[in-house]
Amino acid sequence: MDNRSETCCFTGHRDVPAYMRPALARELEEAVRGMAARGKTRFAAGGAVGFDTMAAETVLRLRRELGLELVLILPCADQARRFSPSQAAVYSRIKAAADEVVILHESYLPGCMQERNRALVDSSSACIAFCRRATGGTAYTLRYARSRGLEIYLLGGHL
């Protein structure tokens, strides 16, 4: 993607507690609307379950109203191989509806998830994050985004 100034990526945990989902969904919509008002029209997600799915669905829901594009940057073509049937169905629907799909590898390789996370950040000038732990992939991606100078919007009672 060469539209870095217009692109906002998402990073967040795969496990979003049920009790947090309604408030997080409202915060997420507010964040996307705020980014759109500041000229972010491309939103990049990594295709994981949990927060990535919530983010992608939010962009798709607001796409026509706000003139948004959804870009999926996927670590591998077989990313959904361990998803439950319902998760895989949602993933397939989001993938089919996306404006652009970038697949980094044909099959899973060690390190491909981290490569996907760096690609999300490297393609963006802003990041909407749901991070409640100081370790793991989301925390790594958030630290990387900060090191690259991205505008950060933290959701969900972050650390």
pTM: 0.94
> For the chain, give me the number of helices (H) and strands (E)?
5, 6
Both tokens assigned to 94: 């989001």
Whole-number percent of the chain with pLDDT over 70:
97
- pLDDT score, position 157: 65
- Give the span between the Cα atoms of 114 and 47, in whole angstroms: 13
Cβ neighbors of 90 (< 8 A, separation 6 or more) are 53, 57
Q: Inform me whether the pLDDT recorded for 1 exceeds 60.
A: no
- Asked if 132 contacts 157 with a C-beta cutoff of 8 angstroms, the reply is yes
